[in-house]
Amino acid sequence: MQSTWQQLSKEIADSVASAGRSVVAIDGRSGHTSSGILWRPDLVLAAAHTIRPNADIHIIPRAGNSVRARLAGRVTGADVALLRADQAISQDSAEFGDASGLAIGQLVVAIARTRRGNIVASSGILSGLMGEWQYGRTRIDQFIRPDLTLYPGFSGGALIGADGKILGMTTSGLARGKPIVIPASTLGRIAEELTQKGHVASPYIGLVMQPVPIPDSLQKTGGVTATVGLLVMHVEASGPADNAGVLLGDVLVQLEGQTFSDLSDLQDVLRRSGINQDVKATLIRGGQKVELNIKIGERPLR
């Protein structure tokens, strides 16, 4: 009869072998390989920091096999890149799991593939879990930090849980070399947008602002309760706010009923509302309250 340890070891090994069929090696830095996750037969998710601009990219799905690829798009704020292979890769596309039910202390395994096409793994536990977080302008659905070693070449590989499904992509590119996992839900959303547009759309209203305190006297005369507003220092010509009638020197005190403590609060409202949606803005102009409707736009590519 197999011991519990033997049975557990076999189940982990079987899960690594199964999920490993969706993990490839990537040569995107002139001889330094990383890993990637096969999202579709000809599309591979990778860690953006491992792919150099204008690199000659090769995907290595197994020993003795190499497929040329090109960069289809990247989101540096989430350290996610999407590669399009010149031909379909005859391996299993990733089966993603749901990371929302994870708990601190659960056993997880990171899977990568070497230049020679061999699967390698590193195990540990989940040491950090939090909700949605923001890196630059990029929303990441969940903060997942595993306590394990990401050896060279592991960035872009897969993290699996107890059910053997891929919970997300491991990377050392977002936390000064420490392992972070980009959850599967974020990977799917980014990959869909990169496939359709080649970039991930970011909501904006075309204003440059800075937080300012609102004095008690201005709260009374302006008829607002906010203690902090956002002073409009620049209005982008023909942008969403300009089209709505926002003026230089206005103070934005509410958007969709939400007040602000800093600019990140504004970004949260824009992101939740979504591109092409109308939002109600409350401003103070010349000591009086003004209300306008602003249609959120898509940040132009520079």
What is the rounded distance in angstroms from the CA atom of residue 93 to the CA atom of residue 20? 10
Q: Hunting for tokens 């969403």 — which residue is that? A: 240
pLDDT-based confidence at 2, cuts 50/70/90? low
pLDDT-based confidence at 126, cuts 50/70/90? very high
Q: Hunting for tokens 């590193």 — which residue is that? A: 122
Spans of all domains in the chain? 4-197, 203-298
What is the rounded distance in angstroms from the CA atom of residue 20 to the CA atom of residue 14? 10
Question: 4-197, what's its fold?
Answer: Thrombin, subunit H (2.40.10)
Q: Cβ distance 154 to 170 under 8 Å?
A: yes
pLDDT given at position 220: 77
Q: Hunting for tokens 């009638």 — which residue is that? A: 245
pTM: 0.79
Long-range contacts of 67-72 (CB under 8 A, 24+ apart): 69/26, 69/44, 72/43, 72/194, 72/195, 72/198
Give residue-wise pLDDT tens across range 35-63: 999 999 999 999 999 998 888 999 999 87
β-strands 57-60, 23-27 pairing: antiparallel
Share of the chain above pLDDT 70, in %: 97
Q: Mention every residue, 6+ apart, whose C-beta is less than 8 A from residue 110.
A: 121, 122, 123, 124, 146, 148, 150, 154, 157, 158, 159, 170, 179
Q: What is the chain's mean pLDDT, rounded? A: 91
Q: Mention every residue, 6+ apart, whose C-beta is less than 8 A from residue 170.
A: 110, 112, 146, 150, 154, 155, 156, 157, 158, 159, 179, 180, 181
- Which class does domain 203-298 fall in? mainly beta
Q: Is the pLDDT of residue 14 over 80?
A: yes
Give residue-wise pLDDT tens across range 240-249: 999 999 999 9
What is the rounded distance in angstroms from the CA atom of residue 104 to the CA atom of residue 119? 26
Tell me whether domains 4-197 and 203-298 share a fold: no
SS3 99: coil
**DSSP3 helix / strand / coil % (the chain, rounded to 5):** 20, 40, 40
Here the tokens at position 260 are 């602000």
Q: Count Cβ atoms below 10 Å from residue 188 Cβ, excluding itself.
A: 15
What is the rounded distance in angstroms from the CA atom of residue 62 to the CA atom of residue 242? 54
pLDDT-based confidence at 210, cuts 50/70/90? very high
